């Protein structure tokens, strides 16, 4: 059973930065594909970014060039660095993980992931 714990959310002004972290346990971390999703009030959950076990990355168009996802297998952690934040980035951010042996697997749909964290709130004020 994979456990995921997100941290790093908070309140920031537009143009500011936040660093979210997702700590995983219960599985060989280097064999977990990891994604970040977000859900704003009244909206469906949407894909933000993903990183494969081969360290390939993929981003939603809305965050490309502003967000960066990375992983540190020695610390069992995936980080989402969020820069140039906008009010429309306000949402609960969720980390998701799926065991895999595919080096370049980068799913963007929430149904591709079995394990989810509890979420962390990100609020960007204008």
What are the residue ranges in the chain where pLDDT is below 70? none
What pLDDT does residue 120 have? 97
What pLDDT does residue 96 have? 98
Q: How far apart are CA 74 and CA 64, in angstroms?
A: 26
What pLDDT does residue 21 have? 98
What pLDDT does residue 38 have? 98
Residues 20, 12 contacting (CB under 8 angstroms): no
What pLDDT does residue 59 have? 98
What pLDDT does residue 41 have? 92
What pLDDT does residue 31 have? 93
């Amino acid at each position: 059973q994979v456990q995921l714990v997100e941290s790093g959310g908070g309140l920031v002004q537009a143009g500011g930065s936040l660093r979210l972290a997702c700590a995983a346990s219960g599985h060989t971390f280097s064999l977990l594909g990891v994604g970040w999703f977000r859900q704003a009030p009244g909206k469906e959950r949407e894909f933000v970014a993903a990183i494969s076990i081969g360290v390939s990355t993929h981003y939603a168009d809305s965050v490309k060039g502003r967000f960066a996802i990375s992983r540190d297998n020695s610390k069992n952690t995936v980080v989402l660095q969020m820069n140039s934040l906008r009010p429309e980035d306000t949402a609960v951010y969720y980390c998701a993980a799926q065991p895999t042996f595919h080096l370049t697997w980068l799913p963007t749909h929430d149904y591709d992931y079995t394990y989810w964290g509890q979420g962390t709130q990100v609020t960007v004020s204008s």
